[in-house]
Structure 1
Amino acid sequence: MFLKRISLLRDNGAAMEQYPYTIPAIHHLEKIDLASPVVFFVGENGSGKSTLLEAIADRCGFHPAGGGRNNTYEVHASGASLADSIRLSWMPKITNGFFMRAESFYHFATHIDQLEEDDPSAYASYGGRSLHEQSHGESFFSLFQNRFSGQALYLLDEPEAALSPQRQLAFLRILHELAEQEGCQFVIATHSPILLGYPGAQILHFTDGPIEEIGYEETDHFKITKYFLDHREKFLKDILSD
């Protein structure tokens, strides 16, 4: 374990009445203690998951639009202002890691293409060829398989966005090997009930109140998916009827 606690500083002059501090989960944030090598952020769209994850990435020195400490390129990052109010507690502190942001992954792939023009080895960490020459899912998997290695912190924003259910299961295997065998830590914002099923993971629920820890079966992702699979015809009839 590296990152142990995330705290919000309220006395640093930030305008708490303005975005992103008006997001309920951020507004109520005091501190979050991370209790597992794999931590999931869950909640509805707009609940603050990605905003907080991006601020953590910025605070770690990772590119807030996606990348590590050595990646530099221009893309707007909405969570940058929040980073100024975030305190991270470490044991021990590390500098290795990566922030993967599905929303801006195209820009990161373009950045790697530009690096390759000056350094023919730039593609080595991404499957040996341009991420743009791979499908969206393949490019994600190339990143997981080739760029990720031990003793590092990985912040992932919706990594399932381009992955089929089968590839999500394969990603769980990679996640397990990196966390259990190579000492990596993951903080992941996700909507995937498959990824959330990872054993022993800590699940933090972003709500209209304080962020709270919940069990897998308590997540809406599990409840809705299970109900749909168990009662598909009734479920569809209810939501599609006039």
Structure 2
Amino acid sequence: MVYLNVFTFPNEDMEFNFFMKIKRTCYDSFYPFKVLSRHGFERIDFEPVTILYGGNGSGKSTALNVIAEKTGINRDSIYNKSNFYMDYVNMCTMQLEDNIPKNSRIITSDDVFDYMLNIRNLNEGIDQRREKLFEEYLDAKYSHFQLKSIEDYEQLKKVNSARSKTQSRFVRSELMDNVREYSNGESAFLYFTEKIGEKGLYLLDEPENSLSPKRQIELVKFIEESAHFFGCQFIISTHSPFLLSMHGAKIYDLDENPVDVKRWTELENVRTYYEFFKRHEKEF
């Protein structure tokens, strides 16, 4: 499915004309101007899965965030915008094939990291509460409690509960909503599967961060199936060879000047991996 069909960025002439209209006073940065235009990156024609490839500083994350701002899709983490950010966004244009669904969103590394941190903090809090409940269980089970007034009724229920249950059942019932302790990789993968639903435009900024190679391969399958069967469109910035190998993906190489569309096996990062493993082939 394709919702966003074409997106254009300002070219060098448009940027020059903009600079001529403003006063160069206290600003020493005009970001995101001059980031994408230096490699002639002016237009993207999208497929159901489109990938922006390039090294650090190539502008792939910049392009993704500009697209997210222009389309108005959801975002979780706050994005710090420069003084000229909206001027740049307003100079961009887009063509839609269909209306962008409301559940569309951009997912960044900050979003995934915050999610993993929240789960970790939640689990730590549950662990502390669990230790206190162990003590409460022993105190209640072996106490010589007698009901003296209505104020003691809650304590009576706790004593009866402790005496009728094993320690583990008592703790589970008192904790109510227990949270499974996921590893960082499991938490990161879970975040993608929870946030990506049917029929949406999803922008993923280096989703391979925090994911093992095995999890990256699982994410590739999840994205391919979401695009093929569930009406999703993906725009992804990455330099992961696993994501770059995604079936049917259109890849823009932002390291080229001008930016060009390439097959994943032609990309420098992938070739580096290939040559490395080829040299060590006999060791496997």
Q: TM-score, normalised by structure 2?
A: 0.64
Offset at residue 193 of structure 1 (A): 0.4
Q: Structure 2 stretches of 5 or more lacking a match?
A: 21-28, 120-176
Question: Is residue 2:33 matched to residue 1:21?
Answer: yes
Question: Is residue 2:180 matched to residue 1:176?
Answer: no
Give SS of 2:44's match: strand
Offset at residue 199 of structure 1 (A): 1.2
CA contact (8 A) 1:24 1:207 kept: no
Count of paired positions? 210
Following the alignment from structure 1 to structure 2, what is the Cα–Cα distance between the partners of residues 176 and 94? 19
Give SS of 1:40's match: strand
Instruction: Give the structure with the larger helix fraction.
Output: 2
Range that drifts further, 151-160 or 15-24: 15-24
Structure 2: which amino acid aligns with 1:30? E
The higher relative CO (CA closer than 8 Å, separation ≥ 6) is in: 2
Give SS of 1:179's match: helix
Cα distance change, pair 178–26 in 1 and its aligned pair in 2 (3 A): farther
Q: How many percent of aligned residue pairs carry the same amino acid?
A: 32
Cα distance change, pair 150–208 in 1 and its aligned pair in 2 (3 A): same
Give SS of 2:106's match: strand
Structure 1: which amino acid aligns with 2:62? T
CA-atom RMSD in angstroms: 3.2
Residue of structure 1 in register with 2:192 after alignment = 144
Offset at residue 75 of structure 1 (A): 4.5
Offset at residue 61 of structure 1 (A): 1.4
Residue of structure 1 in register with 2:96 after alignment = 90
CA contact (8 A) 2:217 2:242 kept: yes
Q: Structure 1 stretches of 5 or more lacking a match?
A: 68-72, 113-127, 234-242
Match of 1:188 among 216, 236, 242: 236
Match of 2:61 among 50, 56, 62: 50
CA contact (8 A) 1:24 1:208 kept: no
Following the alignment from structure 2 to structure 1, what is the Cα–Cα distance between the partners of residues 266 and 39? 23
CA contact (8 A) 1:41 1:188 kept: yes
Match of 2:251 among 198, 203, 206: 203
Residue of structure 2 in register with 1:154 after alignment = 202
Cα distance change, pair 107–8 in 1 and its aligned pair in 2 (3 A): same
CA contact (8 A) 2:48 2:234 kept: yes
Cα distance change, pair 151–129 in 1 and its aligned pair in 2 (3 A): farther
Following the alignment from structure 2 to structure 1, what is the Cα–Cα distance between the partners of residues 33 and 279? 40
Structure 1: which amino acid aligns with 2:92? I
Residue of structure 2 in register with 1:76 after alignment = 80
Cα distance change, pair 89–196 in 1 and its aligned pair in 2 (3 A): same
Q: TM-score, normalised by structure 1?
A: 0.74
Range that drifts further, 94-103 or 186-195: 94-103
Question: Can you list the C-alpha shifts for 1:171-217, whole angstroms capped at 9, x where unaligned?
Answer: 11111110010010000000100111111110001036222101111
CA contact (8 A) 2:115 2:187 kept: no
